[in-house]
Amino acid sequence: MDIQVRVWRQDGPSDKGRMVSYDVKDISPDASFLEMLDVLNEKLILDGDDPVAFDHDCREGICGMCGMMINGVAHGPERATTTCQLHMRHFSDGDVIDVEPWRAAAFPVIKDLVVDRGAFDSIIQAGGYISAPTGTAPDAHATPVPKADADAAFEAATCIGCGACVAACPNGSSMLFTAAKVSHLGLLPQGQPERDSRVLDMIAAQDEAGFGGCTNAGECTTVCPKGIPLTLIGRLNADYRNALRKG
C-alpha cells in the first residue's frame, strides 16, 4: 500500500518545529507502524536527508519506549496497543497520516518525535517503591496475599510508563501513571507501612515536575496500551484524603 505521512520535525528543544510530508510507497500491511518509519528513514538517508528520530526499543509492546500521536491519538487508532504493535493493516491505501510527538509541559521535545520523560522517574523516586533492602526479606510464604488483591495489584503494575496518558490528557496530567503505582503497592500487605507517605510524596512530585491537575476527563485510560482503569484514580484520591486526614 502507498501512504503519505506528515511528520513533526524539530531539530532540538529550542527549534520551533514544523510538519513535513513524505510519501511512503509499497508498504506491506503486515509491517508495523515503526517498520513503516524504518522504510521511510532508509530512503531519507540515501537521499541525503535527515532521518526521523523516534524512540523505540523492544518492539513488542512492553518496554514503553515508543509512543507518538498518530492522527491526534496517542499510539494511534487501535485500543490497548502501543505504537510498535500497531500494524499497517489498520490503515488504507492512500491514507494521509499525521505523526507527532507527545505534547506535554513535563515532556519537552528532544528531537522530532523523541521527548524527555525523565519526570516519570522523579515521581517514582518520591515513593514509588517498597523499602526492602536486599537480604531483609522473610520467606515468600510468610504473608499470604488474597488472590483478588494480588490480581488487582498485578493489573495496576502492568503500566509500562510510556506516557500516552499524559499526552492524551487535556491538562497534561500524570494522574493515571501515579495512580497505577500507588494502587499496585497499596493493594499489597507489603506496601502498607509506606502507604500514606507514598501517596502524598508522589502527588507532590508530580506537581513539582510540571504535570497538570486531573479533572477526570478520562482520555488517559482510553489510550492506555495496558488498559489501566480510571477507577485507580478514584482509589488514589481516597488514599490521598486518608493520608491528609491522618496528617
Partner 1 sequence: MELWENGDPIRDEAAPDGPIETRWERRRFSAKLVNPANRRKLSVIVVGTGLAGGSAAATLAEAGYRVRSYCYQDSPRRAHSIAAQGGINAAKNYRNDGDSVYRLFYDTVKGGDFRARESNVYRLAEVSVNIIDQCVAQGVPFAREYGGLLDNRSFGGTQVSRTFYARGQTGQQLLLGAYQAMERQIAAGNIEMHARHEMLELIVVDGRARGIVVRDLVTGEITTDLADAVVLASGGYGNVFFLSTNAKGCNVTATWRAHRKGALFANPCYTQIHPTCIPESGTHQSKLTLMSESLRNDGRVWVPLSASDKRPPGDIPEDERDYYLERIYPSFGNLVPRDIASRAAKNVCDEGRGVGPGGLGVYLDFADAIERLGVKAVEAKYGNLFEMYQRITGEDPYQVPMRIYPAVHYTMGGLWVDYDLQSTIPGLFVIGEANFSDHGANRLGASALMQGLADGYFVLPNTINNYLAGGPFGDISDRPEVASALSSVESRVQKLLDVDGDRTVDSFHRELGHIMWEYCGMERTEEGLTKAIGLIRGLRDEFWTRVKVPGTGEQLNQNLEKAGRVADFFELAELMCIDALHRAESAGGHFRAESQTPDGEALRHDDEFSYVAAWAFSAEGRPTLHKEDLDFEYVHPSTRSYK
Judged by CB under 8 A, the residue of 59, 108, 229, 237 near partner 1 is 59
User: In Å, what is the CA distance from 99 to each residue of 11, 59, 176, 192?
Assistant: 16, 18, 24, 43
Rounded to a whole number of angstroms, the minimum distance from the CB of residue 127 to partner 1 is 9
Give me the helices (H) in 147-230, please. Answer: 147-157, 164-168, 175-186, 195-208, 219-223
Identify residues 16-45 at the interface with partner 1 (CB under 8 A).
27-28, 30-32, 34-36, 38-39, 42, 44-45
- Shorter beta-carbon distance to partner 1: residue 38 or 98: 38
Judged by CB under 8 A, the residue of 130, 200, 217, 243 near partner 1 is 130
Q: Coil, strand or helix: which one is 109?
A: strand
Rule CB under 8 A: say whether 146 interacts with partner 1: yes
Rule CB under 8 A: say whether 145 interacts with partner 1: yes
- Shorter beta-carbon distance to partner 1: residue 21 or 154: 154
Judged by CB under 8 A, the residue of 24, 97, 153, 176 near partner 1 is 153
Rule CB under 8 A: say whether 101 interacts with partner 1: no
Angle in degrees, CA 153, 154, 158, rounded to 5? 120
Residue 21: name the closest of 4, 37, 33, 9 by CA: 4
Give dist(CA 15, CA 92) in Å, integer.
33
Rule CB under 8 A: say whether 15 interacts with partner 1: no
Rule CB under 8 A: say whether 200 interacts with partner 1: no
Sketch the per residue contact string, 160 through 199, with partner 1: x for CB under 8 A, - otherwise: xx----------------------xx--x-xx--------
The per-residue DSSP string of 58-94 comes to SSSS-S-----EETTEET-SSTT--GGG-BGGGS-TT
Identify residues 71-100 at the interface with partner 1 (CB under 8 A).
78, 80-81, 85, 87, 89
Q: Cell for 210?
A: 510540571
Q: Binding-site residue total for partner 1 (CB under 8 A)?
A: 80
Rounded to a whole number of angstroms, the minimum distance from the CB of residue 215 to partner 1 is 27
Instruction: Please choose, out of 118-126, 168-176, 216-224, 234-242, the segment that lies near partner 1 by the rule CB under 8 A.
Output: 118-126
Q: Cell for 101?
A: 510527538
- Shorter beta-carbon distance to partner 1: residue 139 or 246: 139
Sole residue written with cell 500500500: 1
Judged by CB under 8 A, the residue of 6, 17, 103, 124 near partner 1 is 124
Helix axis angle for 231-246 and 175-186, nearest 10°, is 70
Contacts of 89 (CB under 8 A, 6+ apart): 29, 30
Q: Cell for 171?
A: 491538562
